[in-house]
C-alpha cells in the first residue's frame, strides 16, 4: 500500500466520518448479539483489501461489552463528534484475552495492538510542523474522509510498561500512551479514567498550548503487520465533563 494512503488511515485511525455538531457524548455501542449501532461505524484503510477487525456486542461476566477481535486485520470502530475538548473525562473498562504475538509498537513491522481507545483532535493545520503539514495535506487529499491533525491513543501493550509514551511508527500525528503493560492483568477487567485534554497537552503540548475540539473517538485493534491474532473487550465507554 502506498505510504500516503497508509498515513491517511493511521492519522485518522481509518476515517472518523463527518463531524456532528449535535453529538456531545458517546452513544452506547449497541445491543448484545447485534452489530454496533450508529453513529458507531467500522472504518478501515483506504481501499482496504485485507480483513477488517471484527466488532460485536456480547455479555461477558455480566458486562455489556464490545468484543474486539483482530486476525491479520485492521479496523476501528469510530464515533464522530464535534465538542470542546476541555474539561472532559474519558472512562471505560477493558480487558485483553489474547495479545498479538510479536507486536512491537516501536517498529513498523510490529505496529499492532490488541486494543486501543483513541481521541481525535482538530488541531489547526497551521500549528502542525511544516513537513508533517505537507504529508497531512497529501493524506487528506487521498482520503474521502476528513482527517484530524492529532490523535491520542490509549493502548494496552504486550511488552511496553505502563506510563510509556511514544509516537506511532508510521506518523507523528498519532501518539500512544500505554496504560496497561504486560500480562499481569490478562483476562481481568481494568477500569481507566483519563483527562483527555491534559493528555493531549502532554503528548502534543510542543505544538499547541490550547486544547482543540474533539472530532471523534475510536476503539480499535490491528494485527495486519504481524499477521497475528488478538481478542479484547471494552465496556462502559463514557465521555463526559
Q: Note down pLDDT in tens along the chain; length 241 residues.
A: 444 445 444 444 433 433 333 334 799 999 999 999 999 999 887 778 899 999 999 999 999 999 999 999 999 999 999 999 999 999 999 999 999 999 999 999 999 999 999 999 987 777 767 767 676 677 666 666 666 778 999 999 999 999 999 999 998 889 999 999 999 999 999 999 999 999 999 999 988 899 999 999 999 999 999 999 999 999 999 999 9
What residue numbers bound the domain in which 216 lies? 3-240
Which H or E run includes 6? helix 3-12
Residue 230 sits in a domain whose CATH number is 2.60.120
State the Cα–Cα distance between residues 18 and 187, nearest whole angstrom: 35
Domain count, the chain: 1
| pLDDT for the residue 119 | 97
User: Average per-residue pLDDT in the chain?
Assistant: 87
State the Cα–Cα distance between residues 165 and 174, nearest whole angstrom: 11
> How do residues 31-51 score in pLDDT, each as one tens digit?
999 999 999 999 887 778 899
DSSP E strand boundaries for 3-88: 41-43, 54-60, 63-71, 74-83
Q: Which residues contact 85 (CB under 8 A, 6 or more apart)?
A: 119, 121, 196, 197, 200, 211, 212, 213, 214
- Cell (9 digits) for 62: 455480566
Q: Which residues contact 229 (CB under 8 A, 6 or more apart)?
A: 69, 70, 71, 72, 98, 100, 101, 223
| pLDDT for the residue 105 | 97
Amino acid at each position: 500500500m502506498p505510504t500516503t494512503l497508509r498515513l491517511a488511515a493511521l492519522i485518522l485511525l481509518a476515517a472518523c466520518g463527518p463531524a456532528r455538531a449535535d453529538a456531545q457524548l458517546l452513544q452506547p455501542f449497541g445491543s448484545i448479539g447485534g452489530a454496533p449501532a450508529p453513529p458507531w461505524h467500522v472504518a478501515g484503510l483506504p481501499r482496504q483489501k485485507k480483513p477488517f477487525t471484527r466488532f460485536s456486542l456480547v455479555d461477558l461476566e455480566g458486562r455489556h461489552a464490545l468484543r474486539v477481535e483482530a486476525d491479520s486485520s485492521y479496523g476501528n470502530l469510530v464515533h464522530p463528534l464535534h465538542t470542546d475538548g476541555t474539561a472532559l473525562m474519558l472512562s471505560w473498562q477493558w480487558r485483553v484475552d489474547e495479545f498479538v504475538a510479536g507486536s512491537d509498537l516501536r517498529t513498523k513491522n510490529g505496529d499492532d495492538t490488541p486494543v486501543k481507545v483513541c481521541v481525535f483532535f482538530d488541531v489547526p493545520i497551521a500549528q502542525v510542523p511544516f513537513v508533517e503539514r505537507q504529508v497531512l495535506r497529501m493524506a487528506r487529499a487521498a482520503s474521502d474522509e476528513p482527517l484530524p491533525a492529532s490523535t491520542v491513543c490509549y493502548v494496552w501493550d504486550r511488552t511496553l510498561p505502563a506510563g510509556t509514551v511514544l509516537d506511532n511508527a508510521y506518523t507523528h500525528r498519532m501518539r500512544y500512551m500505554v496504560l496497561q503493560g504486560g500480562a499481569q492483568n490478562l483476562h481481568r477487567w481494568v477500569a481507566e479514567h483519563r483527562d483527555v485534554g491534559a493528555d493531549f497537552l502532554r503528548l502534543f503540548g510542543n505544538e499547541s498550548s490550547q486544547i482543540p475540539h474533539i472530532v471523534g473517538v475510536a476503539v480499535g485493534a490491528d494485527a495486519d503487520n504481524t499477521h497475528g491474532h488478538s481478542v479484547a473487550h471494552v465496556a462502559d465507554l463514557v465521555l463526559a465533563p
